[in-house]
Every structure is written in C-alpha cells, then in structure tokens.
C-alpha cells in the first residue's frame, strides 16, 4: 500500500479498495477501482458526504476509462475505473447523486457508455446531426465525415416530462428568446401562474469543443479554452494552463501567477457588476441596470487599455502570462478601484433601501440548503444557500495560498441572497486586486519549458466567477492533446434552477434565471 494522504481519502480508499494504490498527484489523489465496485463506491461516497464534481470518459486502448472526482473539505479524490468498449456498461451514480444525471447522459451521447439503472436515460447533448449509433468522442469517429455536412433534421421527439390535469398548461420558452441571450429551452407546466414543473433542455450551442481539442498542440488548446465560454475566458484559460502545468509538474513564476489572479478577479468583478444590474432590470428597476452597466463598461474599457482585450482573452499563456503590468497600469487600477468603491457603496445602499425592489427579490426563488447540498451547487448559488465553499480559501491554488480570502455566506437562498453574495464578492475582489497589486513580486513572466508532454495528465481547479471550474487534460504519446474535458460550474448549478422555481410564478422566472446566470456555452461544450 502506498497511501500518502492522511485525510478522509485514506479512509475512503481503505474502505473501498484496500488492495489498491492511492496515488497522490498534484492537487488530486487518484484511486483506481474495479468496474463492479463502481456502485458501492457511490454509496461509500455518500456516507462520507462527498460532493460529486464531475464524470468524464476517455478512450484508452480497448477500454473506456471513467473518472469521477469527489470533493470533501477541499480535498479532491479522483475515482477511476475501466470498462471494455465491446461491452460499455457501468452502474449509474445518478440515483444517489442527482448531479451525475446530465453528465452521465452527456457521456452516453458522446461515447456510448451505457449507465445501468439510470433514472432518466433520455439523450442530452446528442445532436440530430449524428445518428443514434454514432458516438462522436470515440477515436474512430471523424468530424470530417461528409454525412454530417447534410442538413440536420429538426429535433422533434425529445421526450419531455408530461403533466396532465384540468387547468394545467404547457408553456414552451426558447431556445430563441426576445432578448439577446444564449439559446436554451425551458418547458413549463403551469396552473394559472404557478409553476408546477420546469424542465430544461440545452445543447443548442454545442460546438464540439471536446472533439476539436483532440490532437491539438498545447498552444491551440489554450486558445480554444479561452473560447469555451466567453464571459469566463480568463478562468478557462487559467484552469487549462493549470491542468497542463500540473501534468508536467511545473510552476509558473510568481509574478505571472499574481497577474493571472488579478485578471481572474477583474473578470469576477465585471460579471458580477453586469449581472447585479441585469437582475434589477428583470424586475423593472431600470435605474440600477443603467448604473451597473455603466460601471461594467468603464471596467471593461480599462481591461482593453491594459490587456488589449475587453474580456482579457488570450492573456494567459502556458507557463505564464502574455504581458506585464507597468507602474502606470497599476496606478490606473488603484485609482479605478478607489472610485468604484465609493460609487458601489452608494449604489448598494440604493438597492438595499429600495422597498419595491427588495419586495421582488426577497423570498423569490428559494433554494434550500438541503437541496443545494444534494445537487452540489457551487459558487454564489451555493454560497447564498449556506454551502460554504470557495476554492480560493478551501483548496487554495497559487497564488491564493498566500492570501486570506473572505467568503460571504448567506442562509436565505433567495434571489436577494444571491445578489448580496455577489455584491459582497465584488468588494472582496476589489480588496484582493489592491493587495495583489501592492505585493506584485518582481520575477519573470514566463516559465520556459522545453521538455515534452508525452503521456501525462493533469487537472486544473479554479474558482471561476460562477464557481468551481474543473478542467481535465491528458496528452498522448506524441505530446498532442488526447482528451480535454472542461466542467463548467453550470453543470452543477443549472439543476438548481429547476428546483428553486417550485412555488414561484411564471413572471418571476426571468429574475430567478438571471440570479443563477449559468453558462449555456460552457455547459453545451
């Protein structure tokens, strides 16, 4: 036995597979188990109270390798097993972990892995463009297949949940909406204005990120990562770089890490500003919307000035960052933060004191702590429902290990709580940026790696503005990308919307949705 962890993972491994080796690799430990122990592993995991983080498959020789990372107390354990491609069957985790439901369906649609006893085994990502027997992420599937070029048949037979009864109406909303938002379909069953049930249907922005990344060079992969979900481009680029850096065990210079953190916090602030305004706008409080939009715009313009891109796309490179910050830049950021703090205190007071606004936000869309824990909600969605988890504090990656992070927590779980978490996070991030700017170390910007990337793998874990972002990268024997799987926090938070809408009325759906604001693009891949 070669067990190096002295936390819950040790116990977990002893209980589940004492004969197996628990490997300590960078930020996660790996435990390989037999396929027939997969189901008992899920039961052990729930007794430990672990949080299900993701599931992904990967083709290895004649087998599919399945991976499930679990998290408890900020420690990650990666469960791994292999099943033959000829008979790709495995027990489903979805009965015990509802969060596994859609990721397992995604894995089925992409690889053809059959999850036994799955509670809801209809398709998820599978597009009409490829047939039911084709699985795009298998290595023998070519994306340049001429059959795919032909016109895609319409999607008509998705088996939506049905509900009958007198006075029950079905309202389909989307995927094309009246505003400029991403496409997603929401199927409501309503009685009068009360929502009885909501079913989400996504996949309209499936871009084939996972297939595209196959055989890519590392540089192209990081460019691609920055485009998985445009509003989180910094987080994706950082998480992907971190995964690659972990794979070959290098550490970027400190100055680069600090600049990455500054960009990541700037991204958080920009998105929180925009969304707080948008939440207010959805209940007809246009004043706040225009004020926050103005602030966000100013913030983005400084991004453009300093980083040459409003959203800081392609600013993070493997082993470092693209460009340095000058003293002039630092001064500008300090100045801007000082101005923003003043304005924000005023604006938050207006929001807090506007009775008609608070009346709309309070008790709307309540996500109880119990449900939030059950579905594994992360980020501000979880933190508004008393799920106290923030990677920057609880599983700190560089450079956050040196900083003390205040994590705002609320118990109410309503739209108002989610708004307050984000308002507080803005203030925390402004402080953090100040601190990072003040203590910016004078080192190089780039780790120059000349070695190869043969047959290695790594996991990146970042607290993106939406919550925990997990990225898996593995390289093949030529040093090209073998498998890239980014798990957006939205995979865990989208199901929260279906839950928190219960007991609400139809006209409150937009504000509930906006308070969650999950990514469609990051989820559809």
- Residue 287 touching other proteins (CB under 8 A): yes
- Shortest distance, position 119 Cβ to other proteins, whole Å: 28
Round to whole Å and give the CA distance between 434 and 516. 28
Of the two residues 129 and 173, which places its CB atom closer to other proteins in the complex? 173
Choose among 234, 379, 249: nearest CA to 316.
Answer: 234
- Residue 11 touching other proteins (CB under 8 A): no
Figure out which of the listed residues 89, 191, 219, 290 binds other proteins, where binding follows CB under 8 A: 290
Choose among 252, 255, 227: nearest CA to 241.
Answer: 252
Is the torsion defined by CA of 271, 377, 44, 125 positive or negative?
negative
CB of 49 within 8 A of CB of 98?
A: no
Binding residues for other proteins restricted to 172-201, rule: CB under 8 A? 172-173, 177-179, 192-193
Of the two residues 14 and 505, which places its CB atom closer to other proteins in the complex? 505
Figure out which of the listed residues 125, 291, 490, 519 binds other proteins, where binding follows CB under 8 A: 291
Of the two residues 154 and 451, which places its CB atom closer to other proteins in the complex? 154
- Which residues is 485 bridged to in the sheet? 472
- Residue 283 touching other proteins (CB under 8 A): yes
Of the two residues 482 and 508, which places its CB atom closer to other proteins in the complex? 508
Figure out which of the listed residues 185, 255, 266, 360 binds other proteins, where binding follows CB under 8 A: 360
Q: What burial class does residue 311 get, using C-beta atoms within 10 Å of its C-beta: 0-12 exposed, 13-18 middle, 19+ buried?
A: buried
- Shortest distance, position 293 Cβ to other proteins, whole Å: 10
User: Structure tokens of 91?
Assistant: 């027990």
- Count residues binding other proteins (CB under 8 A): 32
Of the two residues 284 and 441, which places its CB atom closer to other proteins in the complex? 284
- Residue 162 touching other proteins (CB under 8 A): no
Element (H, E) at 96: none
Binding residues for other proteins restricted to 481-510, rule: CB under 8 A? 505-510
Residue span binding other proteins (CB under 8 A) among the ranges 9-17, 37-45, 170-178, 258-266: 170-178
Q: Render 59-95 in DSSP notation, one character per residue.
A: EETTEEEEEEEEEETTEEEEEEEEEETTS-EEE-STT
What are the angstrom distances between the C-alpha of 254 and each of 40, 416, 439?
43, 38, 11
Round to whole Å and give the CA distance between 334 and 62. 56
- Shortest distance, position 181 Cβ to other proteins, whole Å: 9
Binding residues for other proteins restricted to 252-281, rule: CB under 8 A? 280
User: Structure tokens of 502?
Assistant: 């219960």
Q: Which residues in this chain contact other proteins in the complex, by CB under 8 A?
A: 169-173, 177-179, 192-193, 280, 282-287, 290-291, 294, 354, 356-357, 359-360, 364, 505-510
């Amino acid at each position: 036995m070669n067990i190096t962890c002295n936390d819950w993972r040790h116990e977990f491994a002893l209980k589940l597979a004492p004969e197996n080796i628990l490997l300590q690799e960078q930020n996660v430990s790996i435990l390989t188990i037999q396929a027939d122990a997969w189901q008992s592993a899920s039961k052990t995991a729930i007794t430990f109270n672990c949080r299900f983080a993701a599931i992904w498959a990967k083709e290895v020789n004649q087998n599919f390798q399945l991976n499930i990372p679990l998290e408890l107390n900020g420690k990650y354990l990666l469960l791994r097993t292999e099943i033959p491609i000829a008979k790709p069957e495995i027990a489903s985790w979805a009965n015990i972990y509802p969060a596994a439901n859609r990721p397992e369906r995604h894995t089925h649609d992409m690889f053809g892995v059959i999850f036994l006893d799955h509670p809801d085994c209809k398709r998820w990502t599978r597009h009409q463009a490829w047939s039911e027997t084709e699985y795009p992420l298998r290595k023998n599937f070519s994306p340049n297949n001429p059959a795919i070029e032909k016109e895609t048949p319409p999607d008509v037979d998705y088996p939506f949940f049905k509900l009958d009864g007198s006075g029950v109406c079905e309202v389909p909303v989307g995927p094309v909406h009246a505003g400029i938002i991403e496409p997603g379909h929401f199927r409501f069953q309503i009685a009068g204005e009360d929502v009885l049930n909501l079913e989400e249907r996504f996949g309209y922005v499936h871009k084939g990120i996972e297939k595209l990344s196959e055989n890519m060079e590392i540089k192209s992969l990081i460019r691609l990562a920055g485009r998985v979900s445009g509003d989180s481009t910094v987080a994706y680029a950082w998480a992907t770089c971190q995964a690659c850096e972990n794979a070959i065990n290098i550490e970027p210079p400190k100055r680069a890490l600090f600049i990455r953190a500054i960009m990541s916090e700037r991204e958080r602030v920009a998105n929180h500003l925009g969304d707080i305004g948008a939440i207010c706008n959805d209940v007809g409080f246009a004043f706040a919307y225009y004020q926050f939009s103005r602030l966000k715009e100013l913030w983005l313009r400084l991004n453009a000035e300093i980083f040459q891109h409003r959203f800081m796309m392609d600013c993070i490179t493997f082993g470092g960052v693209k460009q340095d910050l000058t003293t002039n830049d630092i001064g500008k950021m300090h100045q801007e933060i000082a101005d923003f703090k003043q304005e924000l205190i005023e604006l938050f007071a207006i929001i807090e004191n506007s009775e008609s606004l608070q009346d709309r936000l309070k008790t709307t869309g309540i996500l109880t702590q119990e449900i939030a824990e059950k579905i594994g909600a992360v980020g501000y969605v979880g933190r508004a429902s008393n799920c106290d988890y923030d990677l920057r504090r609880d599983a700190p990656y560089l450079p956050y290990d040196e900083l003390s992070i205040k994590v705002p927590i609320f118990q109410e779980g309503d739209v108002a709580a989610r708004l307050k978490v984000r308002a507080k996070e803005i203030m925390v991030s402004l402080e953090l940026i100040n601190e990072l700017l003040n203590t910016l170390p004078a080192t190089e910007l780039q780790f120059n790696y000349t070695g190869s990337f043969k047959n290695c793998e790594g996991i990146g874990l970042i607290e993106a503005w939406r919550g925990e972002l997990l990225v898996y990268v593995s390289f093949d024997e030529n040093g090209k990308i073998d498998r890239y799987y980014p798990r957006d926090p939205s995979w865990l938070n989208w199901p929260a919307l279906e839950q928190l809408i219960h007991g609400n009325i139809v006209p409150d759906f937009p504000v509930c949705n906006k308070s969650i604001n999950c990514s469609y693009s990051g989820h559809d891949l």
